[in-house]
Amino acid sequence: MKRKRRPSMTSTISKRKNIPSKKNHTNRSRLVTSFHNDSYSHRVKKPSIPSTAYKNPTRIGAMRRRIEQLEMILADSKEENQQLHQRLSTTLSRINILKTTNQRLIDECDKFKNNRLIPSTLPGPEIRRND
């Protein structure tokens, strides 16, 4: 199996010496702007990352502690949510039991009322007392 050959360095550089390639021109202009002149020393490179982007360690540590604190709060909330869910399920099952019991009592009450009304409407032997 043959390896793929990489292009040589000379083939990537522009052939003409007097006209800079676009890439070289961009690099040169970037390099010129990244240096500033200091009257006391030679050229000093400016930092490419602004100083505001650096985070000092105490801030990072504080953020880590805050993340840990939030994770603990989340775990506690999940546990509390699970307990509340269990209580809700228990309460709902009790409500269903009470509904069933209530319906059964209503049915028995209706039967009792119907049974009492039927004998009183039927003609039966009258009981007379002789005093």
Separation CA 71–CA 120 (nearest Å): 74
Q: What percent of the chain has pLDDT over 90?
A: 38
Total Cβ atoms within 10 A of residue 127: 5
Domain presence at residue 56: yes
Most trustworthy range by pLDDT among 7-16, 25-34, 51-60: 51-60
> 0.95 exceeded by the pTM?
no
Domain presence at residue 117: yes
Domain span at 36: 20-121
72-83: pLDDT as tens digits: 999 999 999 999
Domain presence at residue 27: yes
Q: Identify which has the larger pLDDT, 102 or 12.
A: 102
Residue with tokens 């990489």: 6
pLDDT at 46: 59
Separation CA 110–CA 103 (nearest Å): 11
Domain presence at residue 84: yes
Alpha helix stretches (DSSP H) within the chain: 9-12, 22-34, 57-121
Q: What percent of the chain has pLDDT over 70?
A: 45
3-state secondary structure of 45: strand
Domain presence at residue 44: yes
Domain presence at residue 86: yes
Instruction: Average the pLDDT over 109-124 and give the result.
Output: 73
Domain presence at residue 53: yes
Q: Identify which has the larger pLDDT, 63 or 121.
A: 63
pLDDT at 100: 97
